[in-house]
Amino acid sequence: MKQLLNDHSEVPSFNKELEKISPFELKDRLIELAGESIRKMTRTMLNAGRGNPNWVATLPREAFFSLGRFGISECRRNWETGEGIAGIPQKEGISHRFEKFLKEQQSDESVKFLDKCYRYMLSEHSADADELVHEWVESIIGNQYPVPDRILKFTEIAVRDYLAQELCDGRPPLGETDLFATEGGTAAMCYIFDSLQQNRLLERGDKIALMTPVFTPYIEIPKLYRYNYKVTEIPASRMNADGLHLWQYDEKDISKLRDPEYKALFIVNPSNPPSYALDSSTIELLVDIVSKWNPGLMIVTDDVYATYVPSFQSLMARLPHNTITVYSFSKYFGATGWRTAVIALHRDNIFDNMLKRLPRKRKNELKQRYGSIRNDVENMRFIDRMVADSRQVALNHTAGLSLPQQMQMTLFALYSIIDKREGDHFREKMHEIIQKRLKALWTSMGFTLLPDPLRAGYYSEIDLLVWAERFHSKDFADWLRITYSPLDVVFRLATETSLVVLNGGGFDGPQWSIRVSLANLDEKDYVTIGMSVRAILDSYATRWKKSLPAAE
Protein backbone atom coordinates (compact mmCIF):
# COMPACT_ATOMS: atom_id res chain seq x y z
CA MET A 1 0.00 0.00 0.00
CA LYS A 2 3.06 2.26 0.10
CA GLN A 3 3.35 2.23 -3.68
CA LEU A 4 1.52 5.54 -4.24
CA LEU A 5 2.14 7.79 -7.22
CA ASN A 6 3.20 11.42 -7.06
CA ASP A 7 0.87 14.33 -6.30
CA HIS A 8 0.33 15.27 -9.94
CA SER A 9 -3.26 14.11 -10.21
CA GLU A 10 -5.23 14.69 -13.41
CA VAL A 11 -8.47 14.98 -11.47
CA PRO A 12 -8.57 18.76 -10.76
CA SER A 13 -8.37 19.65 -14.47
CA PHE A 14 -11.75 18.14 -15.35
CA ASN A 15 -13.44 17.20 -12.11
CA LYS A 16 -16.22 19.75 -12.45
CA GLU A 17 -17.48 18.02 -15.57
CA LEU A 18 -17.04 14.57 -14.09
CA GLU A 19 -19.00 15.44 -10.95
CA LYS A 20 -22.11 15.69 -13.16
CA ILE A 21 -21.66 12.24 -14.70
CA SER A 22 -23.46 9.14 -13.42
CA PRO A 23 -21.07 7.02 -11.33
CA PHE A 24 -21.81 4.07 -13.61
CA GLU A 25 -20.53 6.09 -16.59
CA LEU A 26 -17.60 7.44 -14.59
CA LYS A 27 -16.73 3.82 -13.79
CA ASP A 28 -15.58 3.25 -17.37
CA ARG A 29 -13.02 6.06 -17.06
CA LEU A 30 -11.84 4.65 -13.73
CA ILE A 31 -11.40 1.22 -15.32
CA GLU A 32 -9.26 2.85 -18.04
CA LEU A 33 -7.07 4.51 -15.42
CA ALA A 34 -6.79 1.31 -13.42
CA GLY A 35 -5.80 -0.50 -16.60
CA GLU A 36 -3.09 2.07 -17.29
CA SER A 37 -1.86 1.57 -13.72
CA ILE A 38 -1.72 -2.19 -14.28
CA ARG A 39 0.42 -1.70 -17.39
CA LYS A 40 2.85 0.55 -15.51
CA MET A 41 3.03 -1.62 -12.40
CA THR A 42 2.52 -5.37 -12.42
CA ARG A 43 -0.63 -5.94 -10.38
CA THR A 44 -4.27 -6.94 -10.73
CA MET A 45 -7.21 -4.56 -11.13
CA LEU A 46 -9.89 -5.01 -8.47
CA ASN A 47 -13.25 -3.70 -9.68
CA ALA A 48 -15.63 -3.18 -6.75
CA GLY A 49 -17.76 -0.77 -8.74
CA ARG A 50 -20.59 -2.99 -9.93
CA GLY A 51 -22.99 -5.16 -8.00
CA ASN A 52 -22.68 -8.18 -10.26
CA PRO A 53 -22.11 -11.13 -7.87
CA ASN A 54 -19.26 -13.59 -8.33
CA TRP A 55 -21.37 -16.59 -7.32
CA VAL A 56 -24.20 -18.59 -8.86
CA ALA A 57 -26.94 -20.72 -7.31
CA THR A 58 -26.13 -24.08 -8.87
CA LEU A 59 -29.00 -26.44 -8.06
CA PRO A 60 -31.86 -24.44 -9.66
CA ARG A 61 -29.70 -24.08 -12.78
CA GLU A 62 -28.93 -27.79 -12.88
CA ALA A 63 -32.64 -28.47 -12.50
CA PHE A 64 -33.30 -26.16 -15.44
CA PHE A 65 -31.03 -28.24 -17.68
CA SER A 66 -32.46 -31.53 -16.38
CA LEU A 67 -35.96 -30.32 -17.12
CA GLY A 68 -34.69 -29.41 -20.57
CA ARG A 69 -33.71 -33.03 -21.19
CA PHE A 70 -37.23 -34.15 -20.34
CA GLY A 71 -38.67 -31.37 -22.49
CA ILE A 72 -36.71 -32.44 -25.56
CA SER A 73 -37.81 -36.04 -25.04
CA GLU A 74 -41.43 -34.85 -25.01
CA CYS A 75 -40.93 -33.01 -28.29
CA ARG A 76 -39.42 -36.09 -29.91
CA ARG A 77 -42.20 -38.25 -28.51
CA ASN A 78 -44.74 -36.23 -30.52
CA TRP A 79 -42.91 -36.62 -33.83
CA GLU A 80 -39.38 -36.27 -35.15
CA THR A 81 -37.58 -36.16 -38.49
CA GLY A 82 -34.05 -37.23 -39.19
CA GLU A 83 -33.05 -33.63 -39.83
CA GLY A 84 -33.20 -32.44 -36.21
CA ILE A 85 -36.84 -31.33 -36.24
CA ALA A 86 -39.37 -32.43 -33.64
CA GLY A 87 -42.92 -31.64 -32.61
CA ILE A 88 -44.14 -29.66 -29.64
CA PRO A 89 -44.98 -31.01 -26.18
CA GLN A 90 -48.42 -32.55 -25.73
CA LYS A 91 -50.38 -32.05 -22.52
CA GLU A 92 -52.28 -35.33 -22.23
CA GLY A 93 -50.57 -37.73 -19.84
CA ILE A 94 -47.45 -35.57 -19.55
CA SER A 95 -47.41 -35.67 -15.75
CA HIS A 96 -47.25 -39.48 -15.73
CA ARG A 97 -44.31 -39.40 -18.11
CA PHE A 98 -42.66 -36.72 -15.96
CA GLU A 99 -43.09 -38.80 -12.81
CA LYS A 100 -41.52 -41.76 -14.63
CA PHE A 101 -38.58 -39.50 -15.60
CA LEU A 102 -38.22 -38.35 -11.99
CA LYS A 103 -38.15 -41.93 -10.75
CA GLU A 104 -35.68 -43.13 -13.36
CA GLN A 105 -33.32 -40.20 -12.69
CA GLN A 106 -33.67 -40.08 -8.89
CA SER A 107 -29.92 -40.49 -8.34
CA ASP A 108 -29.45 -37.02 -9.90
CA GLU A 109 -29.64 -34.27 -7.24
CA SER A 110 -31.12 -31.79 -9.68
CA VAL A 111 -33.91 -34.25 -10.56
CA LYS A 112 -34.56 -34.80 -6.85
CA PHE A 113 -34.96 -31.05 -6.55
CA LEU A 114 -37.36 -31.01 -9.53
CA ASP A 115 -39.39 -33.67 -7.76
CA LYS A 116 -39.57 -31.48 -4.64
CA CYS A 117 -40.73 -28.53 -6.75
CA TYR A 118 -43.37 -30.69 -8.41
CA ARG A 119 -44.65 -32.09 -5.10
CA TYR A 120 -44.73 -28.59 -3.58
CA MET A 121 -46.96 -27.24 -6.33
CA LEU A 122 -49.28 -30.25 -6.11
CA SER A 123 -49.58 -30.29 -2.32
CA GLU A 124 -49.60 -26.56 -1.57
CA HIS A 125 -51.68 -25.36 -4.52
CA SER A 126 -53.58 -28.43 -5.73
CA ALA A 127 -52.17 -27.85 -9.18
CA ASP A 128 -53.50 -29.93 -12.02
CA ALA A 129 -50.52 -32.20 -12.68
CA ASP A 130 -50.77 -32.27 -16.48
CA GLU A 131 -51.35 -28.52 -16.69
CA LEU A 132 -48.38 -27.82 -14.41
CA VAL A 133 -45.89 -30.06 -16.18
CA HIS A 134 -47.07 -28.91 -19.60
CA GLU A 135 -46.45 -25.28 -18.61
CA TRP A 136 -43.00 -26.20 -17.34
CA VAL A 137 -42.08 -28.16 -20.45
CA GLU A 138 -43.33 -25.52 -22.86
CA SER A 139 -41.40 -22.98 -20.81
CA ILE A 140 -38.13 -24.88 -20.91
CA ILE A 141 -38.52 -25.50 -24.66
CA GLY A 142 -39.73 -21.95 -25.38
CA ASN A 143 -42.01 -22.95 -28.23
CA GLN A 144 -44.91 -20.61 -27.41
CA TYR A 145 -45.57 -16.95 -26.76
CA PRO A 146 -46.08 -16.15 -23.07
CA VAL A 147 -49.73 -16.81 -22.20
CA PRO A 148 -50.93 -15.11 -20.06
CA ASP A 149 -48.65 -12.32 -21.24
CA ARG A 150 -48.35 -10.73 -17.79
CA ILE A 151 -46.88 -13.88 -16.23
CA LEU A 152 -47.45 -17.61 -16.57
CA LYS A 153 -50.01 -19.15 -14.23
CA PHE A 154 -47.74 -21.38 -12.18
CA THR A 155 -44.80 -18.99 -12.31
CA GLU A 156 -47.01 -16.40 -10.64
CA ILE A 157 -48.07 -18.85 -7.94
CA ALA A 158 -44.50 -19.89 -7.12
CA VAL A 159 -43.06 -16.38 -7.21
CA ARG A 160 -45.94 -15.01 -5.16
CA ASP A 161 -45.11 -17.58 -2.45
CA TYR A 162 -41.46 -16.58 -2.65
CA LEU A 163 -42.25 -12.87 -2.23
CA ALA A 164 -44.51 -13.62 0.72
CA GLN A 165 -41.63 -15.47 2.36
CA GLU A 166 -38.78 -13.10 1.52
CA LEU A 167 -40.39 -9.66 1.33
CA CYS A 168 -43.20 -10.08 3.84
CA ASP A 169 -41.49 -12.30 6.44
CA GLY A 170 -44.16 -14.91 5.84
CA ARG A 171 -46.96 -12.45 6.58
CA PRO A 172 -48.26 -11.21 3.22
CA PRO A 173 -51.18 -8.79 3.08
CA LEU A 174 -54.67 -10.19 2.85
CA GLY A 175 -56.04 -10.49 -0.66
CA GLU A 176 -54.40 -11.26 -3.99
CA THR A 177 -51.15 -9.75 -5.28
CA ASP A 178 -50.69 -9.72 -9.05
CA LEU A 179 -47.28 -10.05 -10.69
CA PHE A 180 -45.83 -8.88 -13.98
CA ALA A 181 -42.66 -10.74 -15.06
CA THR A 182 -40.09 -8.35 -16.55
CA GLU A 183 -36.66 -8.39 -18.17
CA GLY A 184 -34.82 -7.58 -14.95
CA GLY A 185 -35.38 -4.82 -12.43
CA THR A 186 -34.21 -2.17 -14.88
CA ALA A 187 -37.02 -3.01 -17.30
CA ALA A 188 -39.45 -2.94 -14.38
CA MET A 189 -38.33 0.59 -13.54
CA CYS A 190 -38.79 1.74 -17.13
CA TYR A 191 -42.26 0.23 -17.35
CA ILE A 192 -43.40 1.79 -14.06
CA PHE A 193 -42.20 5.29 -14.92
CA ASP A 194 -43.65 5.00 -18.41
CA SER A 195 -47.10 3.78 -17.40
CA LEU A 196 -47.47 6.26 -14.55
CA GLN A 197 -46.85 9.00 -17.10
CA GLN A 198 -48.88 7.49 -19.96
CA ASN A 199 -51.90 7.07 -17.69
CA ARG A 200 -51.60 10.56 -16.25
CA LEU A 201 -51.15 9.32 -12.70
CA LEU A 202 -48.00 11.41 -12.67
CA GLU A 203 -47.87 14.54 -14.80
CA ARG A 204 -44.87 16.66 -15.80
CA GLY A 205 -44.03 19.00 -12.96
CA ASP A 206 -45.65 16.86 -10.24
CA LYS A 207 -43.92 16.69 -6.89
CA ILE A 208 -42.34 13.39 -5.95
CA ALA A 209 -40.01 12.34 -3.14
CA LEU A 210 -36.89 10.23 -3.40
CA MET A 211 -35.23 8.56 -0.43
CA THR A 212 -31.46 8.95 -0.82
CA PRO A 213 -28.75 7.77 -1.27
CA VAL A 214 -30.28 5.73 -4.05
CA PHE A 215 -29.55 3.79 -7.23
CA THR A 216 -28.75 6.50 -9.78
CA PRO A 217 -31.52 5.86 -12.38
CA TYR A 218 -34.07 6.88 -9.75
CA ILE A 219 -32.25 10.22 -9.62
CA GLU A 220 -31.78 10.61 -13.36
CA ILE A 221 -35.11 9.42 -14.82
CA PRO A 222 -37.33 12.03 -13.09
CA LYS A 223 -35.13 14.78 -14.57
CA LEU A 224 -35.75 13.71 -18.15
CA TYR A 225 -37.86 16.14 -20.18
CA ARG A 226 -40.57 13.55 -20.61
CA TYR A 227 -41.17 13.45 -16.85
CA ASN A 228 -39.62 16.64 -15.43
CA TYR A 229 -40.86 15.93 -11.90
CA LYS A 230 -40.18 18.27 -9.00
CA VAL A 231 -38.04 16.04 -6.81
CA THR A 232 -37.59 16.40 -3.07
CA GLU A 233 -34.82 14.26 -1.67
CA ILE A 234 -35.25 12.68 1.75
CA PRO A 235 -31.70 11.95 2.94
CA ALA A 236 -30.65 9.12 5.25
CA SER A 237 -29.13 11.74 7.54
CA ARG A 238 -29.44 10.20 11.00
CA MET A 239 -26.18 9.63 12.87
CA ASN A 240 -25.41 8.07 16.22
CA ALA A 241 -23.77 9.66 19.26
CA ASP A 242 -20.32 8.75 17.89
CA GLY A 243 -20.93 10.65 14.67
CA LEU A 244 -21.35 7.54 12.52
CA HIS A 245 -24.01 7.15 9.84
CA LEU A 246 -27.03 5.03 10.72
CA TRP A 247 -28.30 5.34 7.14
CA GLN A 248 -31.81 5.97 8.42
CA TYR A 249 -34.22 8.88 7.93
CA ASP A 250 -35.16 11.81 10.12
CA GLU A 251 -38.80 12.07 11.15
CA LYS A 252 -39.05 15.72 10.12
CA ASP A 253 -37.96 14.86 6.58
CA ILE A 254 -40.34 11.91 6.23
CA SER A 255 -43.15 14.07 7.61
CA LYS A 256 -42.96 16.28 4.51
CA LEU A 257 -44.91 13.53 2.77
CA ARG A 258 -47.99 14.54 4.74
CA ASP A 259 -48.47 17.21 2.10
CA PRO A 260 -50.84 15.76 -0.54
CA GLU A 261 -48.93 17.68 -3.19
CA TYR A 262 -46.42 14.84 -3.00
CA LYS A 263 -47.84 12.38 -5.50
CA ALA A 264 -45.25 9.60 -5.29
CA LEU A 265 -42.41 8.24 -3.17
CA PHE A 266 -39.56 6.19 -4.66
CA ILE A 267 -37.33 4.06 -2.45
CA VAL A 268 -34.76 1.28 -2.70
CA ASN A 269 -35.17 -0.88 0.39
CA PRO A 270 -32.64 -2.11 1.53
CA SER A 271 -30.86 0.92 0.20
CA ASN A 272 -28.25 1.14 -2.53
CA PRO A 273 -25.51 2.03 -1.75
CA PRO A 274 -25.72 2.15 2.09
CA SER A 275 -27.38 -1.30 2.07
CA TYR A 276 -29.68 -0.83 5.07
CA ALA A 277 -33.35 -1.70 5.43
CA LEU A 278 -35.88 0.85 6.67
CA ASP A 279 -36.17 0.78 10.43
CA SER A 280 -39.51 0.14 12.10
CA SER A 281 -40.00 3.77 13.15
CA THR A 282 -39.79 4.96 9.53
CA ILE A 283 -42.18 2.25 8.36
CA GLU A 284 -44.69 3.13 11.07
CA LEU A 285 -44.39 6.82 10.21
CA LEU A 286 -45.12 6.10 6.54
CA VAL A 287 -48.12 3.99 7.53
CA ASP A 288 -49.37 6.89 9.66
CA ILE A 289 -48.84 9.40 6.85
CA VAL A 290 -50.78 7.32 4.34
CA SER A 291 -53.63 6.50 6.73
CA LYS A 292 -54.12 10.02 8.11
CA TRP A 293 -52.60 12.60 5.79
CA ASN A 294 -51.82 11.50 2.25
CA PRO A 295 -53.89 8.41 1.32
CA GLY A 296 -53.22 8.95 -2.39
CA LEU A 297 -49.44 8.70 -2.03
CA MET A 298 -48.10 6.29 -4.66
CA ILE A 299 -45.11 4.30 -3.42
CA VAL A 300 -42.61 2.47 -5.60
CA THR A 301 -40.22 0.26 -3.62
CA ASP A 302 -37.29 -1.62 -5.15
CA ASP A 303 -36.53 -4.52 -2.80
CA VAL A 304 -33.85 -6.45 -4.68
CA TYR A 305 -31.56 -6.75 -1.61
CA ALA A 306 -34.30 -7.90 0.76
CA THR A 307 -32.96 -11.45 1.06
CA TYR A 308 -29.84 -10.20 2.87
CA VAL A 309 -31.79 -8.80 5.83
CA PRO A 310 -33.24 -11.35 8.30
CA SER A 311 -37.01 -11.02 8.84
CA PHE A 312 -37.25 -8.30 6.20
CA GLN A 313 -40.64 -6.68 5.74
CA SER A 314 -41.37 -4.66 2.63
CA LEU A 315 -43.73 -1.74 2.35
CA MET A 316 -45.80 -4.07 0.15
CA ALA A 317 -46.70 -5.89 3.39
CA ARG A 318 -47.58 -2.79 5.40
CA LEU A 319 -48.98 -0.50 2.70
CA PRO A 320 -50.14 -2.95 0.03
CA HIS A 321 -52.82 -0.70 -1.49
CA ASN A 322 -50.38 2.16 -2.15
CA THR A 323 -47.28 0.22 -3.16
CA ILE A 324 -45.79 -1.04 -6.41
CA THR A 325 -42.94 -3.43 -5.63
CA VAL A 326 -39.99 -4.29 -7.85
CA TYR A 327 -38.02 -7.43 -7.10
CA SER A 328 -35.17 -8.86 -9.17
CA PHE A 329 -33.68 -12.36 -8.84
CA SER A 330 -30.31 -11.13 -10.10
CA LYS A 331 -28.40 -10.52 -6.87
CA TYR A 332 -29.39 -13.39 -4.59
CA PHE A 333 -29.03 -16.13 -7.18
CA GLY A 334 -26.10 -14.69 -9.13
CA ALA A 335 -28.30 -14.19 -12.17
CA THR A 336 -27.81 -10.69 -13.55
CA GLY A 337 -27.52 -12.18 -17.04
CA TRP A 338 -30.87 -13.96 -16.76
CA ARG A 339 -32.77 -10.63 -16.56
CA THR A 340 -35.55 -12.00 -14.35
CA ALA A 341 -37.69 -9.78 -12.14
CA VAL A 342 -41.29 -9.03 -11.24
CA ILE A 343 -43.49 -6.04 -10.54
CA ALA A 344 -45.94 -6.79 -7.74
CA LEU A 345 -49.22 -4.92 -7.20
CA HIS A 346 -52.05 -5.77 -4.85
CA ARG A 347 -55.37 -6.47 -6.55
CA ASP A 348 -57.03 -3.71 -4.46
CA ASN A 349 -54.85 -0.64 -5.07
CA ILE A 350 -55.01 3.13 -5.37
CA PHE A 351 -53.58 3.10 -8.90
CA ASP A 352 -56.68 1.43 -10.31
CA ASN A 353 -58.90 3.69 -8.19
CA MET A 354 -57.13 6.79 -9.47
CA LEU A 355 -57.66 5.65 -13.05
CA LYS A 356 -61.39 5.49 -12.39
CA ARG A 357 -61.36 9.05 -11.06
CA LEU A 358 -59.54 10.59 -14.00
CA PRO A 359 -61.36 13.42 -15.83
CA ARG A 360 -63.48 12.34 -18.77
CA LYS A 361 -61.04 13.97 -21.21
CA ARG A 362 -58.17 11.85 -19.89
CA LYS A 363 -60.29 8.72 -19.97
CA ASN A 364 -61.12 9.35 -23.61
CA GLU A 365 -57.42 9.77 -24.43
CA LEU A 366 -56.64 6.47 -22.72
CA LYS A 367 -59.56 4.78 -24.44
CA GLN A 368 -57.96 5.73 -27.71
CA ARG A 369 -54.57 4.47 -26.51
CA TYR A 370 -55.73 1.05 -25.33
CA GLY A 371 -58.84 0.66 -27.49
CA SER A 372 -57.19 -1.81 -29.85
CA ILE A 373 -56.76 -4.25 -26.94
CA ARG A 374 -60.20 -4.19 -25.35
CA ASN A 375 -63.51 -2.36 -25.48
CA ASP A 376 -63.89 -1.69 -21.75
CA VAL A 377 -60.68 0.31 -21.30
CA GLU A 378 -62.01 1.95 -18.13
CA ASN A 379 -61.96 -1.47 -16.46
CA MET A 380 -58.42 -2.22 -17.59
CA ARG A 381 -56.20 -2.53 -14.54
CA PHE A 382 -53.00 -0.55 -14.16
CA ILE A 383 -50.78 -3.64 -14.11
CA ASP A 384 -52.26 -4.78 -17.44
CA ARG A 385 -51.67 -1.33 -18.86
CA MET A 386 -48.01 -1.71 -17.89
CA VAL A 387 -47.88 -4.94 -19.88
CA ALA A 388 -49.37 -3.20 -22.92
CA ASP A 389 -47.14 -0.14 -22.54
CA SER A 390 -44.09 -2.41 -22.37
CA ARG A 391 -44.76 -3.26 -26.03
CA GLN A 392 -46.02 0.14 -27.17
CA VAL A 393 -49.59 -1.23 -26.93
CA ALA A 394 -49.67 -2.25 -30.59
CA LEU A 395 -47.43 -5.25 -29.86
CA ASN A 396 -49.33 -6.31 -26.78
CA HIS A 397 -50.14 -9.64 -28.43
CA THR A 398 -46.44 -10.57 -28.21
CA ALA A 399 -45.81 -9.08 -24.77
CA GLY A 400 -44.33 -10.99 -21.86
CA LEU A 401 -41.06 -12.30 -20.48
CA SER A 402 -39.65 -15.26 -22.42
CA LEU A 403 -40.79 -18.67 -21.21
CA PRO A 404 -37.30 -20.03 -20.41
CA GLN A 405 -36.64 -16.95 -18.27
CA GLN A 406 -39.90 -17.51 -16.43
CA MET A 407 -39.02 -21.18 -15.87
CA GLN A 408 -35.64 -20.32 -14.39
CA MET A 409 -37.31 -17.69 -12.21
CA THR A 410 -39.77 -20.32 -11.01
CA LEU A 411 -36.94 -22.66 -10.05
CA PHE A 412 -35.11 -19.87 -8.23
CA ALA A 413 -38.25 -19.07 -6.23
CA LEU A 414 -38.98 -22.70 -5.35
CA TYR A 415 -35.33 -23.26 -4.45
CA SER A 416 -35.51 -20.59 -1.76
CA ILE A 417 -38.85 -21.87 -0.47
CA ILE A 418 -37.59 -25.45 -0.22
CA ASP A 419 -34.26 -24.29 1.25
CA LYS A 420 -36.12 -22.55 4.07
CA ARG A 421 -38.07 -25.72 4.81
CA GLU A 422 -34.90 -27.78 4.89
CA GLY A 423 -32.80 -25.56 7.15
CA ASP A 424 -31.90 -22.37 5.26
CA HIS A 425 -28.50 -23.71 4.18
CA PHE A 426 -28.26 -21.58 1.03
CA ARG A 427 -29.43 -18.45 2.84
CA GLU A 428 -27.03 -18.89 5.74
CA LYS A 429 -24.07 -19.42 3.43
CA MET A 430 -24.99 -16.38 1.31
CA HIS A 431 -25.18 -14.21 4.43
CA GLU A 432 -21.88 -15.64 5.67
CA ILE A 433 -20.09 -14.82 2.41
CA ILE A 434 -21.30 -11.22 2.41
CA GLN A 435 -20.64 -10.63 6.11
CA LYS A 436 -17.08 -12.02 5.93
CA ARG A 437 -16.29 -9.69 3.04
CA LEU A 438 -17.81 -6.74 4.89
CA LYS A 439 -15.75 -7.52 7.99
CA ALA A 440 -12.57 -7.88 5.92
CA LEU A 441 -13.14 -4.44 4.34
CA TRP A 442 -13.78 -2.53 7.55
CA THR A 443 -11.26 -4.33 9.75
CA SER A 444 -8.50 -3.64 7.24
CA MET A 445 -9.43 0.05 7.37
CA GLY A 446 -8.95 -0.06 11.14
CA PHE A 447 -12.53 -0.19 12.35
CA THR A 448 -14.87 -2.91 13.59
CA LEU A 449 -18.50 -2.65 12.46
CA LEU A 450 -21.01 -3.38 15.19
CA PRO A 451 -23.79 -5.84 14.31
CA ASP A 452 -26.93 -4.28 12.85
CA PRO A 453 -29.94 -6.44 11.93
CA LEU A 454 -30.96 -3.87 9.30
CA ARG A 455 -27.65 -4.03 7.44
CA ALA A 456 -27.81 -6.05 4.22
CA GLY A 457 -24.09 -5.64 3.55
CA TYR A 458 -24.34 -6.11 -0.20
CA TYR A 459 -22.63 -2.73 -0.58
CA SER A 460 -20.80 -0.53 1.86
CA GLU A 461 -20.80 3.25 1.73
CA ILE A 462 -17.76 4.79 3.37
CA ASP A 463 -17.93 8.49 4.24
CA LEU A 464 -14.29 9.53 4.15
CA LEU A 465 -14.88 12.85 5.92
CA VAL A 466 -16.32 10.97 8.90
CA TRP A 467 -13.27 8.71 9.01
CA ALA A 468 -10.84 11.58 8.37
CA GLU A 469 -12.14 13.17 11.54
CA ARG A 470 -12.15 9.94 13.56
CA PHE A 471 -8.69 8.79 12.47
CA HIS A 472 -7.09 12.24 12.53
CA SER A 473 -9.02 15.43 13.40
CA LYS A 474 -11.87 17.72 12.42
CA ASP A 475 -9.34 20.26 11.15
CA PHE A 476 -7.95 17.64 8.78
CA ALA A 477 -11.44 16.71 7.56
CA ASP A 478 -12.23 20.38 6.89
CA TRP A 479 -8.94 20.83 5.03
CA LEU A 480 -9.59 17.76 2.91
CA ARG A 481 -13.07 18.96 1.96
CA ILE A 482 -11.82 22.43 1.00
CA THR A 483 -8.63 21.37 -0.76
CA TYR A 484 -9.70 18.47 -2.94
CA SER A 485 -12.56 17.31 -5.12
CA PRO A 486 -14.53 14.34 -3.77
CA LEU A 487 -13.63 12.52 -6.99
CA ASP A 488 -9.94 12.76 -6.17
CA VAL A 489 -10.19 9.69 -3.97
CA VAL A 490 -11.77 7.38 -6.56
CA PHE A 491 -9.28 8.54 -9.20
CA ARG A 492 -6.32 8.05 -6.89
CA LEU A 493 -7.56 4.58 -6.00
CA ALA A 494 -7.75 3.76 -9.70
CA THR A 495 -4.40 5.26 -10.73
CA GLU A 496 -2.34 4.41 -7.66
CA THR A 497 -3.75 1.07 -6.53
CA SER A 498 -5.72 -0.22 -9.56
CA LEU A 499 -8.92 -0.30 -7.49
CA VAL A 500 -12.28 0.73 -8.95
CA VAL A 501 -14.97 2.00 -6.56
CA LEU A 502 -17.82 4.42 -7.22
CA ASN A 503 -18.29 7.91 -5.83
CA GLY A 504 -21.11 8.02 -3.29
CA GLY A 505 -22.02 11.57 -4.28
CA GLY A 506 -23.25 10.20 -7.60
CA PHE A 507 -25.95 8.35 -5.65
CA ASP A 508 -26.85 11.63 -3.88
CA GLY A 509 -25.10 10.35 -0.78
CA PRO A 510 -22.42 12.24 1.17
CA GLN A 511 -20.12 13.89 -1.35
CA TRP A 512 -17.00 12.41 0.17
CA SER A 513 -18.33 8.88 0.36
CA ILE A 514 -17.36 5.93 -1.81
CA ARG A 515 -19.41 2.84 -2.64
CA VAL A 516 -17.80 -0.57 -2.48
CA SER A 517 -19.65 -3.61 -3.78
CA LEU A 518 -19.21 -6.65 -1.53
CA ALA A 519 -20.58 -8.97 -4.19
CA ASN A 520 -18.03 -9.36 -6.91
CA LEU A 521 -14.59 -9.92 -5.34
CA ASP A 522 -13.04 -12.46 -2.99
CA GLU A 523 -12.64 -11.89 0.74
CA LYS A 524 -8.90 -11.25 0.49
CA ASP A 525 -9.52 -8.54 -2.10
CA TYR A 526 -11.56 -6.54 0.41
CA VAL A 527 -8.57 -6.56 2.74
CA THR A 528 -6.60 -4.94 -0.07
CA ILE A 529 -9.35 -2.40 -0.72
CA GLY A 530 -9.68 -1.48 2.96
CA MET A 531 -5.93 -1.03 3.35
CA SER A 532 -5.77 1.04 0.17
CA VAL A 533 -8.58 3.37 1.28
CA ARG A 534 -6.89 3.85 4.65
CA ALA A 535 -3.49 4.39 3.01
CA ILE A 536 -4.84 7.10 0.72
CA LEU A 537 -6.63 8.78 3.61
CA ASP A 538 -3.42 8.74 5.63
CA SER A 539 -1.48 10.14 2.67
CA TYR A 540 -3.85 13.11 2.58
CA ALA A 541 -3.19 13.55 6.31
CA THR A 542 0.55 13.62 5.62
CA ARG A 543 0.04 16.38 3.05
CA TRP A 544 -2.15 18.28 5.49
CA LYS A 545 0.47 18.12 8.24
CA LYS A 546 3.11 19.42 5.83
CA SER A 547 0.84 22.34 4.96
CA LEU A 548 0.52 23.45 8.59
CA PRO A 549 2.62 26.42 9.77
CA ALA A 550 5.83 25.27 11.40
CA ALA A 551 5.74 25.43 15.19
CA GLU A 552 7.67 28.35 16.68
* pLDDT digit string, tens, across residues 116-143: 999 999 999 999 999 999 999 999 999 9
Q: At what angle do helices 153-166 and 109-125 cross, to 10 degrees?
A: 90
Q: Which of 208, 215, 212 is nearest to 231 (CA)?
A: 208
pLDDT score of 381 more than 60: yes
- Residues 423 and 242 sit within 8 Å (Cβ to Cβ): no
Q: How many CB atoms lie within 10 A of CB 6?
A: 6
Domains and CATH numbers, the chain: 11-51+425-544 (3.90.1150.10), 58-144 (1.10.20.110), 166-394 (3.40.640.10)
pLDDT grade for 210, boundaries at 50, 70 and 90: very high
**What's the confidence (pLDDT) of residue 450?**
86
The backbone torsions φ and ψ at residue 395, rounded to the nearest 5 degrees and listed phi first, read: -105, 25
CB neighbours of 262 closer than 8 A, spacing ≥ 6? 207, 208, 209, 232, 256, 294, 297
pLDDT grade for 1, boundaries at 50, 70 and 90: very low
**What's the confidence (pLDDT) of residue 16?**
54
**What's the confidence (pLDDT) of residue 235?**
97
- Residues 256 and 268 sit within 8 Å (Cβ to Cβ): no
- Would you give the end-to-end CA distance of the chain in angstroms? 34
Task: Report which of residues 391 and 35 the model is more confident about.
Answer: 391
**What's the confidence (pLDDT) of residue 17?**
57
CB neighbours of 258 closer than 8 A, spacing ≥ 6? 289, 293, 294
Please name the helix (run of DSSP H) or strand (run of DSSP E) that holds residue 103, with its range, or none: helix 94-104
**What's the confidence (pLDDT) of residue 20?**
58
Average pLDDT for 428-447? 96
Average pLDDT for 5-13? 46
pLDDT score of 41 more than 50: no
**What's the confidence (pLDDT) of residue 3?**
41
Q: Could you check whether the bond before residue 404 is cis, i.e. omega within 30 degrees of 0?
A: no
pLDDT score of 4 more than 60: no
pLDDT grade for 549, boundaries at 50, 70 and 90: confident
**What's the confidence (pLDDT) of residue 448?**
83
pLDDT score of 352 more than 80: yes
pLDDT score of 251 more than 60: yes
- b/e map of 281-297 (b: 16 or more CB within 10 Å)? ebbebbeebbeeebeeb
pLDDT grade for 217, boundaries at 50, 70 and 90: very high
Tell me: the pLDDT tens digits for 283-302? Answer: 999 999 999 999 999 999 99
**What's the confidence (pLDDT) of residue 260?**
98
- Measured distance CA(439)–CA(429) in Å, rounded: 15
**What's the confidence (pLDDT) of residue 7?**
46
Tell me: the pLDDT tens digits for 20-38? Answer: 566 666 656 666 665 555 4
**What's the confidence (pLDDT) of residue 27?**
58
Instruction: Name the average pLDDT for the chain.
Output: 92
pLDDT score of 66 more than 80: yes
Q: How many CB atoms lie within 10 A of CB 471?
A: 17
Please name the helix (run of DSSP H) or strand (run of DSSP E) that holds residue 129, with its range, or none: helix 129-141
**What's the confidence (pLDDT) of residue 36?**
58
